[in-house]
Amino acid sequence: MSEIPVMMTIAGSDCSAGAGLQADLKAAHAMGAFALTAVTCIVSEVPGLVRGIQEVEPELVADQVRINLEHFPVAAVKAGMLYSPSIVRAVHGVLKDADIPLVVDPVMIATAGDRLMREEAVAVYEELLLPRAALLTPNLDEAAVLLRSSSNPERDESPEAAARLALRYGCPVLLKGGHLAGDCRDVLAGPDGRSLGEWTRPRVRDVSTHGTGCSLSAAIAARLAAGDGLVTAVERGLEFIAAAIRCKKAGYDGVDHTTATGTFVHKGVAAVDKRVFPLGSDLYVMAKGMEYGLTKAEDTGMKGQKIDLYLESYQQCIQFGRRSATVYLLENS
């Protein structure tokens, strides 16, 4: 069996458990990684309301990051809420010599409008942290702040805005389109500003999306820790978030609908007979007339040589149906 990849999240604590460290832990686990934490702030909040922020002493923030790096094989880091200039400097001081991919979620403004990063911290953040990022994941509000714009990028401006940010900071940028009217449009630009991918999904209405940005960046970091390339990690992270939102809309609570291994159901998960395919095994599925590709044995409920694959929609399930398949058990499992 392959070892579980390890990532670290450096972020604030959300007492409602919908965002921040708490969301990161759940997302990392769902994506097959073990997540370490470094707490930067204690936030008294619920969706739509931030009532208090208490930052942790920068020296203690730095030591949390340092001790994790000293004692665990950290393969990726996600940085979320870094409230003050001193916290940004403390985190940078420890990470500057670490050859580990860093996913930066620029947590600046809460949905309710409260600032989650002091204004004087932005320049320090841009100077020290963003140039070493493996990925920057702003939403439209955060993109406007970083672009010094008085208005958010519109749908047709998203690719250009992502490219401008990538060129400004010299790092890949995933510009999230969850705040757009209508369908969601997410665009990924490389450090040279060229497009690396674009994803459009129908909006799921009348469901809280509190913490989805935190969860997405943590999911991407988890997949980078597992060895995925950037585009694959982004794509899997987006698929995970989309599935989570759909499940929430359908009334699932994310607890009773996790797999036998405790991960959240998403694309790339297979239910198996663990006597045939050990849980945690990496599989490659080639079905007659359709190639499903890589999947992981994370759930049970099947008997013998039958497997059950996750598909994203009812229409895909009907199209795929029941069919014979060749399943390869990959050697590194």
Q: Concatenated DSSP letters for 80-140?
A: ----SHHHHHHHHHHHTT--S-EEE----B-TTS-BSS-TTHHHHHHHHTGGG-SEE---H
211 classed as catalytic: yes
Q: State the average pLDDT for the chain.
A: 85
96 classed as catalytic: no
213 classed as catalytic: yes
What is the pLDDT at residue 241?
A: 81
pTM of the predicted model, to two decimals? Answer: 0.75
Q: Which of 32, 177, 213, 237 is catalytic?
A: 213
Q: Which of 212, 258, 263, 295 is catalytic?
A: 212
What is the pLDDT at residue 253?
A: 44
Q: Which of 9, 37, 209, 258 is catalytic?
A: 209
pLDDT level of residue 204 (50, 70, 90 thresholds): low
200 classed as catalytic: no
Distance CA 23, CA 308 (A): 27
295 classed as catalytic: no
Q: Which of 20, 214, 267, 296 is catalytic?
A: 214
Domains of the chain: 6-249 (3.40.1190.20), 269-329 (no CATH)
209 classed as catalytic: yes
At 73, list the tokens: 């094989």
pLDDT per residue over 80-110, tens digit each? 999 999 999 999 999 999 999 999 999 987 7
Q: What would you measure as the largest C-alpha separation in the chain, in angstroms?
A: 61
- Burial class for 256, CB neighbours closer than 10 Å (0-12, 13-18, 19+): exposed
Q: Is the pLDDT of residue 308 over 70?
A: yes
Residue carrying structure tokens 């900071």: 169
Rounded to 10 deg, the angle between the 212-225 and 230-249 helix axes is 140
